[in-house]
Structure 1
Amino acid sequence: CSHQIRSLQYSVTGDVILVVAGNSQAKVLDRDGFQVMECIKGDQYIVDMANTKGHTAMLNDGCWHPKIKEEFLTCSNDGTVRTWDLTSEKKHKSVFKPRSLQGKRVTPTCCTYSRDGKLIAAGCQDGTIQIWDRNLSVHTKFHCRQAHAAGSDTTCLTFSYDGVTLASRGGDDTLKTWDIRNFRKPLAAVTGLTSFFPMTDCCFSPDDKLLLTGTSVKKDEGNGKLLFFERESLQKVYEIEVADTSVVRCLWHPKLNQIMVGTGSGLAKVYYDPVKSQRGAMLCVVKSKRKEKHAETLTQDYIITPHALPMFREARQRSTRKQLEKDRLDPLRSHKPEPPVSGPGRGGRVAAHGGTLSSFIVKNIALDKTDDSNPREAILRHAKEAAENPYWVAPAYKKTQPDPLFAEEEEEEVDEDQPEWKKRKI
Structure 2
Amino acid sequence: MDEDDFRDYLPASFGATGGGFDVEAQIETVRRKVPGLPEPKPKSSTSSKGDSDSDDDSEEDSEDEDEYPVSHGIVFKTHDRPVTTITLDASGSRMITGSMDCTIKLHDFASMTPNTLRAFKSVDPTFTKSSANSETHPVHTAKFNPNSPSQVLVISATPQARVLSRDGETTTEFVKGDMYLRDMNMTKGHISEITSGTWHPHNYNLCVTAGTDSTLRIWDVNVRNKQKDVIVHKSKLAGSAGRSRMTAVAWGSQVEGGNSLLVAAALDGSLLMWGGDGPWNRPSGEINQAHTSNTWTSGIDISADGRLVVTRGGDDTVKLWDTRKFKQPVNTTTHVSTSSQYPTSNIQFAPNSSFIITGSETGDLYILNPATLKPELVTPITPGSPLISVLWHDKLNQIVTGSANAETHVLFNPKISSKGALMVMSKQPKRRHIDDDPSLTTDMSQGVSGDAIVNPGAANEAIKGSTYSSRHPTIGLTASGKSRDPRRPHIPATTPFSKSQPDQKHIRESIPLSSMREEDPREALLKYADKAQNDPIFTNAWSRTQPKTIYAELSDDEEDGPQKKKQKN
**TM-score normalised by length of structure 1:** 0.65
Structure-2 residue corresponding to 1:73: 208
The residue that corresponds to 2:145 in the other structure is 11
Which structure 2 residues correspond to residues 387-402 of structure 1 after superposition, within 5 A? none
- Structure 2: tracts of 5 or more residues without a match: 1-125, 127-135, 434-569
Tell me if 1:113 matches 2:255. no
Q: Report the 3-state secondary structure (helix = DSSP H, G, I; strand = E; otherwise coil) of the residue aligned with 1:190.
A: strand
2:342 to 182, 186, 197: 197
- Helix, strand or coil at the partner of 1:15: strand
Q: Which residue of 1 aligns with 2:414?
A: 274
Q: Which amino acid aligns with 1:236?
A: P
**1:9-408 matched pairs, under 5 angstroms:** 9-12=143-146, 13-101=148-236, 104-116=242-254, 118-134=260-276, 135-195=278-338, 196-216=341-361, 223-244=362-383, 245-289=385-429
Larger deviation, residues 281-290 vs 132-141: 281-290
2:161 partner amino acid: A
Amino acid of the structure 1 residue aligned with 2:417: S
What SS does the aligned partner of 2:149 have? coil
Alpha carbons 1:8, 1:20 under 8 Å: kept: yes
CA distance in 2, matches of 1:111, 1:205: 18
Post-superposition CA distance 1:94-136 (Å, at most 9, x none): 0111222368222111111122562211110011101122311
Q: Assess if the C-alpha contact under 8 Å between 1:161 and 1:208 holds in 2.
A: yes
Higher helix residue share: 2
> Secondary structure at 1:283's aligned position in 2?
helix
Does the CA-based 8 Å contact 1:82-1:96 persist in structure 2? yes
In structure 1, what is the Cα distance between the partners aligned to 2:252 and 2:144?
A: 17
Q: Secondary structure at the match of 2:396?
A: coil
Could you report, residue by residue, the CA deviation over 1:166-217 in whole angstroms, capped at 9, with x for unpaired residues? 000111221111001112211111113231411111111122111111012x
1:307 is aligned to none
**Aligned partners of 1:115, 1:289: CA distance in 2, in Å?**
42
Q: Once the two structures are superposed, what CA deviation does each residue of 1:144-174 show, in whole Å capped at 9, x if it has no partner?
A: 1111111111001100111100000111221
Q: In the alignment, is the contact (CA less than 8 A) between 2:267 and 2:295 conserved in 1? A: yes
Asked if 1 retains the 8 angstrom alpha-carbon contact of 2:188 and 2:227, the reply is yes
- The total of aligned residue pairs comes to 287
Amino acid at match of 1:124: A
Of 95-104 and 132-141, the range deviating more from structure 2: 95-104
State the one-letter code of the partner of 1:147. A
CA distance in 1, matches of 2:140, 2:202: 23
**Runs in 1 of length 4+ with deviation above 3 angstroms?**
288-293
1:81 Cα deviation from its structure 2 partner: 0.4
CA distance in 1, matches of 2:351, 2:173: 33
Bigger relative CO (Cα 8 Å, ≥ 6 apart): 2
Q: How far is 1:263 from its partner?
A: 0.7
State the 1:287 CA deviation.
2.3
Alpha-carbon distance in structure 1 between the residues aligned to 2:323 and 2:196: 21
Contact 2:313–2:337 at 8 Å: present in 1 too? no
Tell me the residue number matched to 1:346.
Answer: none
Question: Post-superposition shift, 1:4?
Answer: 1.1
Q: What's the CA shift string for 1:28-50, capped at 9, x where partnerless?
A: 11122211100001000000011
Q: Secondary structure at the match of 2:422?
A: helix
Task: Give the partner amino acid of 2:152.
Answer: I
Whole-Å separation in 1 of the counterparts to 2:198 and 2:154: 9
Supply the AA of the counterpart residue of 1:8.
Answer: A
Measure the CA separation in 2 of the matches of 1:88 and 1:226: 40
Deviation at 1:292, TM superposition (A): 8.3
Letter in 1 for 2:311: S
Residue type matched to 2:228 in 1?
Answer: K
Q: Which amino acid aligns with 1:120?
A: L
Q: What secondary structure is seen at the aligned counterpart in 2 of 1:143?
A: strand
Q: 2:206, 2:221 within 8 Å by CA — same for their partners in 1? A: yes
Q: How far 1:289 moved relative to its partner?
A: 4.1
Q: Distance in 1 between matches of 2:234 and 2:314?
A: 20
8 Å contact from structure 2 (residues 201, 260) kept in 1: no
The aligned amino acid for 2:376 is V
- Tell me which residue corresponds to 1:314: none
* Cα deviation, residue 288, structure 1: 4.0
Structure-1 separation of matches of 2:432 and 2:150: 37
Q: Quick one: distance in 2 between partners of 1:236 and 1:93?
A: 41
**Residues in 1 aligned to 2:406 and 2:314: alpha-carbon distance in whole angstroms:** 21
Identity %: 30
Amino acid at match of 1:165: L
Aligned residues of 1:171 and 1:198 also touching (Cα < 8 A): no
How much is the aligned-residue C-alpha RMSD, in angstroms? 1.6
Aligned to 2:474: none
Give the Cα–Cα distance (whole angstroms) in 1 for the partners of residues 408 and 332 of structure 2. 28
CA 1:236–1:40 in structure 2 vs 1: closer, same or farther (change >3 Å)?
Answer: same
Counterpart contact for 1:121–1:131, Cα < 8 Å: yes
Q: Secondary structure at the match of 1:51?
A: coil
Structure 2 distance, partners of 1:142, 1:6, is 27
Deviation at 1:231, TM superposition (A): 0.6
What is the rounded CA distance, in whole Å, between the counterparts of 1:194 and 1:164 in structure 2?
A: 25
Give the C-alpha shift of residue 83 in structure 1: 0.5
